[in-house]
Amino acid sequence: MDTRARLHLSRPMFAPDILETARLLLETCRARGLRIATAESCTGGLIAAALTAIPGSSDVFERGFMTYSNEAKSEMLGVPAALIERHGAVSAEVAMAMAEGALAHSRADVAVAVTGVAGPGGGGDAKPVGLVHVAAARRGGARMHEECRFGDVGREQVREASLRKALDLATRVEDA
């Protein structure tokens, strides 16, 4: 079997409900003339990938920042190192600064950011595996944050749950 035939038979990268949520978010933003940016840490680009899996997303998706390290959060998004040191990379404050930084460093109107502990390691008593902070911001408008405690359910499950929450929060801030 040639490569094209194998690719055609492969399963989609994302569940149908994720793709439908991404499609609806893009459609709504398109109708309102809004563009989206993402700032991701523990999701490693999954939000951007889900959005760009939708044909025609290029007129809405502006850019994605994959800021896994603290240095990347500071260098690419302008998150103050002192803020990261004071609250930790996995915090409401840093998630919000990431979303605001994505707006400041792009032409997007809506930004969504995720930072968390996907596991299996890296967690502790104060910040256990499965703790994720999701933030969304609209240029000149609403700011939203949600703390999620998915539990130690497995790395991919935490990342997928974070993706779902990020798409949901982006949809809500876009409507605000």
Give the CA distances from residue 62 to residues 65, 86, 97, in Å, rounded to whole numbers and listed in that order.
10, 31, 18
CATH superfamily of 17-24+35-175: CinA-like (3.90.950.20)
Is residue 131 within 8 Å of residue 116, measured between CB atoms? yes
Average pLDDT over residues 153-171: 98
Length of the chain, in residues: 176
> Domain extents for the chain?
17-24+35-175
Question: Tens digits of per-residue pLDDT, 56-81?
Answer: 999 999 999 999 999 999 999 999 99
pLDDT over threshold 60, residue 5: no
Predicted TM-score (pTM) of this structure: 0.93
pLDDT in tens, 91-126: 999 999 999 999 999 999 999 999 999 999 999 999
Q: For 89, how many CA atoms within 13 A lie in the half-sphere containing its CB?
A: 19
